[in-house]
Amino acid sequence: MLVYRNSRYNKIVKILYTLNSGQPGGMEHHVLDLVEEMTKRGHEVFVWCKDGPLAQQFTNAGAKVIIAEIKLECDPQYIFNLVKFLKKEKIDVLHAHEIKAVANSMLAGFLSGTKVRISHTHTPISEWKVPWYKKLLNLTTQFFVVWWFSNKEIALTQSRKLVKIKEWLFEWKLEVIPNGVRIEDFELNDDTKKNFRNEICARFNIPQNAFIFGNVGRISQEKGHAALIEAFTKFLEKFPQTHLLLAGGGPLEDQIREKIKSLNLENKVTVTGRFTSEDQKKYFGTPDCFVHPTLAEGFGIVALEAMASGLPLLVSDLDVLQEVCADTVIYFETGDSSDLLNKMEWVYKNPENLKILTTKAKQRVKELYSMQKFGDSYEQLYMSIINL
């Protein structure tokens, strides 16, 4: 058997990732990183996902993509087709992401006899911004599916592991593996940052001399954009030569745009909508300060990307973000627009005090969250179960 580059193992395995999404987001980015890392190590990678721009990204990363949508909470047709596929392709590793894909995929994996079955609900269900009865239903589903059909459930941090234990999952079922960042993609020199900023400011008619607060990510209920806009509206009363750049789209994009319009902030707040991977670097190279006002988080990959970019960060004081970012960012009380406003004012008035934080942040990402460590950890997990 050939020994291949970027892997310490001499066994090539077949890996299938399943998710019920076709649009970019934090979980989807995580799966894309897995695809890239496993293909680099010589493994044969497949992805089952909904139709959308992600399918092409997975293909470009080296995966064989099958378009498949889960239409029911328990979808017999999906399960039947997946069992056939797992047997036909002799898949070694089945790794499912988010509860709908987890429930259907883990059952199919069990029925097909697939040896390695990994489940991963990224944001703990108890922290979802949904009615209590939906939480209870999904928590119950998660408990039975993980207990009976999954070898391991992934937790992105120790704090997420503790939450999942409270969600009735057994500690021995949980494996902590943090996300990783392709650091070289976000290390921008001053000239590159200047060029990116000039391009983005020209594209959206943002004054070049404005102090820009930025956010990159999906616009959805749990990401806290409403509190950020409320804080920025009050901030503008004192400091009018500033701008807010919201890079991303999502289910609440139209609602956020309407809120901006109702506040007459269309010349002060820019919403980009969904963006390409080519523009991602540019949005991290543009702001003077990054704000991450999320209300719930499985990990907080965009915070790591901002840290790697050398941006000062204002971050919600969620346990998971405090674990990931440690003492390299400035925290504000989650969902509290008044506290966020105070921290925005401090950052604006004290830019000279932020250099130490940004230097520590970049170093922390390099030491703890490299993509090499990320890939090694998952490959080791897969192989350890295969070799049982």
Per-residue pLDDT tens over the stretch 196-231: 999 999 999 999 999 999 999 989 988 999 999 999
Q: Do domains 14-180+370-386 and 183-368 have the same CATH topology?
A: yes
Q: Does the domain spanning 183-368 belong to CATH 3.40.50.2000?
A: yes
Kindly state the percentage of the chain with pLDDT values over 70: 98
Round to whole Å and give the CA distance between 366 and 20: 32
- Answer yes or no: is pLDDT of 2 > 50: no
| pLDDT at position 78 | 98
| pLDDT at position 5 | 52
CB atoms within 10 A of CB 112: 19
- Answer yes or no: is pLDDT of 103 > 90: yes
| pLDDT at position 4 | 45
SS3 of 359, please? Answer: helix
- Answer yes or no: is pLDDT of 6 > 80: no
The overall pTM is greater than 0.75: yes
Q: Which residues contact 182 (CB under 8 A, 6 or more apart)?
A: 33, 371
CATH number for the region 14-180+370-386 comes to: 3.40.50.2000
Q: Mean per-residue pLDDT for 302-320?
A: 95
Q: Delimit the domains of the chain by residue range.
A: 14-180+370-386, 183-368
For 5-14, letters b (16+ CB in 10 Å) and e give eebebebebb
More reliable by pLDDT, 6 or 238:
238
Kindly state the percentage of the chain with pLDDT values over 90: 87
Kindly tell me the burial class for residue 82, based on how many C-beta atoms sit within 10 Å of its own C-beta (0-12, 13-18, 19 or more).
buried
